[in-house]
Amino acid sequence: PLYSSAASDVYKRQDTPRALQVWSNKKYHKLFDDLNVLTPRELEARQEIEFESYVYKVQIEARVIDEMVQNYIIPAAIAYQNKLIQNVQGLMNVLGDKAGKVAAKGQVAILEEISEHMNKTMDLSAKMLASRKKANNLKGHEEKAVAYCDNVKVFFDDIRYHVDKLELLIDDEEWRLPKFREMLFTR
């Protein structure tokens, strides 16, 4: 059959580098060559180009994520934390320690939650950067594509999760990016 066990493994994994690895199968080289579509060398060249293209796309996405985290998300979180801290300190000054702690309980909870998501976002972003550096040192296009898929792209969803949580917590005035709820109703 045309679809071997190697091809069925690709469907189990379902990512671009694994799908492109199927092009290395000699059955496909013969098929394309027999049909005068592509020579084996042309098929190898296209595969290499696709691996390289995949790496560049994921690399760009990772850079954009890191830039947004460093230049938009973290500064907004810190600015909003500072506003909340001033509010808590004001409540403590006006109401005194005991009543101030009771009155500031909600703000302190928000501060803790912002800190948790901000720290996790920064940690994941740093790990993603380290993984990118390792992947960039690999020589082969296929090896690099697999490394970007398995070791860099895996951070995208986790970073997104914590940034989404921050978006819900941080005041609109501090959040310089459009929020999802705003984009839903834009025409």
- Note the pLDDT tens digit of each residue in 16-73: 999 898 888 888 888 888 999 889 899 999 999 999 999 999 999 999 999 999 999 9
Distances (CA, A) of 153 to 61, 125, 137, 179: 9, 11, 17, 23
pLDDT band at 12 (very low <50, low <70, confident <90, very high): low
pTM for the model: 0.83
> At which residue do the structure tokens 């993603």 appear?
128
Structure-block tokens of residue 172: 């609109």
**pLDDT (average), residues 163-177:** 94
